[in-house]
Amino acid sequence: MKNLIQFLIKHAFIFVFLLLEVISILLIVANNSFQRTAFISASNGFTSGILEASSNVTDYIGLKEKNLQLANENALLRSKLKESFLQGPDSFVTKIDTSLRQFYIYTQAFVITNSVQRRNNYLILNKGRRHGIEPEMGVIASNGVVGIVNEVSEEFCSVISVLHKKSAIDAKISSNGYTGTISWPGGLYTLGNLDNIPSHAELKVGDTLLTSGNSAIFPPNIPIGIIQKFELKKGSSFFSVRFRFLLDFNRLDHVYIIKNMKQEELLKLMGGFEND
């Protein structure tokens, strides 16, 4: 307190000068219309700038919460799509009944880590066993297939990316329905291969590749990529097809983990076929 008093006494003339300057300015503004108008205009501009900056900061802080809300809403909407329900003999069942009718349920997740430059790429997501996540669940983004859940902890899970040498996902050509398997040969993360398309199939550049629905992991008709080129090598019975992924794997943020409600039952039947 003593030091503060000494400081004020030492600089008293400066404080008095500043006080007089403020009083002078206020008197000028109060008694002159031109200066008053200019002052009000300047103060309004300054105040508006402060309020705009404050609003921008507030909006940015709330952006993450808004994105999370949108992702949860998208997951709910995806769970209500036609492809998420069993098809009955008469018509599409619209009633949500997770114990009997619903086939797929979607859970939104954030990407914590992701790689695209390695030969075998993985992702880590912020959902785990506590959220109902299990190995062999499919993972997609808003515009493409991401991969398959590999390992699960209580709070997190790892995903084998489509950009992995062991990744093999059933796909179909939208224009003609022929099915094959997509793989990633390495190199550019934007390009993949479609294998096992027979030589008699009609192909064209620009055809869209979709999930076939022939597995217990992914629903049908999820977009994968666009055919860029193809060729039939001499003596081969299958086309070599190159396609471009619709999904930019280097910009993944929100994804959706797919739970197949009937996966265990389907895998048992598929296992029986493989053993024959």
Q: What is the pLDDT of residues 137-182, one digit of tens each?
A: 999 998 899 999 999 999 999 999 999 999 999 999 999 999 999 9
What average pLDDT score do residues 230-246 get? 93
> Mind listing the pLDDT tens digit for each residue in 25-80?
666 656 666 555 555 555 545 554 554 565 455 555 555 554 555 555 555 555 55
- pLDDT score, position 215: 79
Percent composition of the chain: helix, strand, coil (DSSP 3-state, to 5) = 35, 30, 35
- pLDDT score, position 96: 41
CB distance 112 to 158 below 8 Å: no
CB distance 156 to 113 below 8 Å: no
Instruction: Supply the CATH classification number for the domain 80-275.
Output: 2.40.10.340
Output phi, psi for 118, to 5 deg. -85, 170
Confidence check: pLDDT of 270 > 80: no
Report the distance separating Cα 215 and Cα 129, nearest Å. 23
- pLDDT score, position 88: 42
- pLDDT score, position 168: 92
- For 126, other C-beta atoms within 10 Å of its C-beta total 13
Report the distance separating Cα 189 and Cα 216, nearest Å. 26
> Mind listing the pLDDT tens digit for each residue in 186-221?
999 999 999 999 999 999 999 999 999 887 789 899
- pLDDT score, position 41: 53
> Helix (H, G, I), strand (E, B), or coil: what is residue 204?
coil
- pLDDT score, position 20: 73
Output b/e per residue, 217-244; b: 16+ Cβ within 10 A: bbbeebbbbebeebebeeeeeebebbbe
- pLDDT score, position 149: 96
- pLDDT score, position 210: 95
Helix or strand holding residue 34 (H, E): helix 33-79
- pLDDT score, position 176: 92
Spans of all domains in the chain: 80-275
Report the distance separating Cα 28 and Cα 25, nearest Å. 5
What average pLDDT score do residues 109-118 get? 93
Share of the chain above pLDDT 90, in %: 50
Please tell me the pTM assigned to this model: 0.64
One-letter amino acid identity for 58? T
Report the distance separating Cα 276 and Cα 269, nearest Å. 11
